[in-house]
Amino acid sequence: MTLTPPDVVRSAYAQLVVTDLARARWFWVDMLGFHLQYEDDSLLCLRGTDELTHHSLVLRKGGTAALDHLSYRVRTSEDVDRAEAYFTALGRPVRRVAKGAGTPGVGDAVRVIDPLGFPVEFFHDIERAERLIQRYDLRRGAEIARLDHFNICTPDIPAAYAHYEALGFGCSETIEGDEHELYAAWMYRKQTVHDVAFTGGAGPRLHHVGVATHESHQVLRTADLFGSLRQEHHIERGPGRHGVSNAFYLYLRDPDGHRVEIYTSDYYTGDPDHETYRWNVHDDRRRDFWGNAVIESWYKEASPVLDLDGRPVPVTESVLDESAVQVGADGLGIVEPAKQGD
């Protein structure tokens, strides 16, 4: 019996657990410029200047910083049922979350632990929000426009690729070894470079949430804002130009260590015959087009994830380690990576 996957429209929101809601509010609202759509003493629902639905980021107060769940919007409410049937047939943990019982603003949803171990929600109905696209008077800080993508750490990149390919995601770019072993992949449903990408490493862990600005000067201004306020320790990597995606980027760590990428100017991928662009792991322009090194914490550190009952999901160590490949720009380690299956 062929399983019909849900029709995923886009990566829609990430729900993060933060230990200090006030500090998180400062980082994500005051500094990054997310708009507050909903707030109570344990939860903030945030959205970017362009976003017309209730939120694209949810911060929930809790004891340990973690990813509560990733969430994809599906095309119809029938696709929520399809998601439930699809992951049930895969033998995965599945839980229906009725409107009002889950995240504020979100309608009937299903939450699963996917084959990679990640807590993932699929929903269709979500409250619409006031159009702020041209309220320039309300813009602040980095002036974040919208959520762009999730990047997840997983030990088996080919398995991640196969799972998302089965969900109908296209592949825009990869990083591959000389024998075409897969180190990283960028996959999409919306017509840009990615909704989700995979970084090799112990997982399941959340590597980062990618949020988009309209202009590269807003990426630069973000770095200047943190520098001006003596908060430069939140800057982890960049500003720079990516090889993969061609986007201009800056990586920050929030007060709990959650990584966020400020990202702009990637490209269109919507034609049916769009071809995957493949980078070699020895090309030191792949992650920074100007050949700047990738700081080791970027490869090694990430946020733990929770199961459907809020317990941390144990991680499995990685099969391949890109940072162990001797690449001029990275300069991390000189040991050749263990070949897959060693």
Ligand X SMILES: O=S(=O)(O)c1ccc(O)c(O)c1
The residues that touch Fe ion, with contacts defined as CB under 5 A, are: 151, 210, 261
Contact region with Ca ion (CB under 5 A), list: 61-69, 134-142, 235-243, 321-329 = 235-243
Contact region with ligand X (CB under 6 A), list: 63-71, 117-125, 129-137, 239-247 = 239-247
235 binds Ca ion (CB under 5 A): yes
**Pairing, β 119-123 against β 43-47:** unpaired
SS3 244: coil
CB of 9 to ligand X, least distance (A): 19
83 binds ligand X (CB under 6 A): no
- The two tokens of residue 109 are 């949803």
Asked whether 327 and 282 are in contact (CB, 8 A), the reply is yes
245 binds ligand X (CB under 6 A): yes
Q: Tell me the number of residues near ligand X by CB under 6 A.
A: 13
Using Cβ positions, the residue closest to Ca ion within the complex turns out to be: 235
219 binds ligand X (CB under 6 A): no
Q: ∠ at Cα 174 (169, 175), nearest 5°?
A: 155
Asked whether 165 and 157 are in contact (CB, 8 A), the reply is no
Tell how far CA 114 is from the center of its chain.
Answer: 15
- Tell me the CA distances in angstroms from 276 to 269, 271, 287, 330, one per residue in order: 10, 12, 16, 24
Tell how far CA 207 is from the center of its chain.
Answer: 7
CB of 295 to Ca ion, least distance (A): 8
84 binds ligand X (CB under 6 A): no
Q: Which of residues 247-266 bind ligand X (CB under 6 A)?
A: 247, 261, 263
- Alpha-carbon span 72 to 16, nearest angstrom: 15
- Alpha-carbon span 129 to 92, nearest angstrom: 33
CB of 82 to Fe ion, least distance (A): 28
CB of 262 to Fe ion, least distance (A): 10
Fill in the DSSP letter of residue 271.
S
CB of 42 to Fe ion, least distance (A): 28
- CB-based contacts of 38: which residues, under 8 Å, 6+ apart? 44, 45, 54, 55, 104, 105
Which CB sits closer to Fe ion, 254 or 261? 261
- The two tokens of residue 99 are 């409107």
CB of 320 to ligand X, least distance (A): 15
Contact region with ligand X (CB under 6 A), list: 9-17, 31-39, 45-53, 242-250 = 242-250
Residues that bind Ca ion in the complex, under the rule CB under 5 A = 235
Give the footprint of ligand X on this chain (CB under 6 A).
Answer: 149, 151, 197, 210, 242-245, 247, 261, 263, 286-287
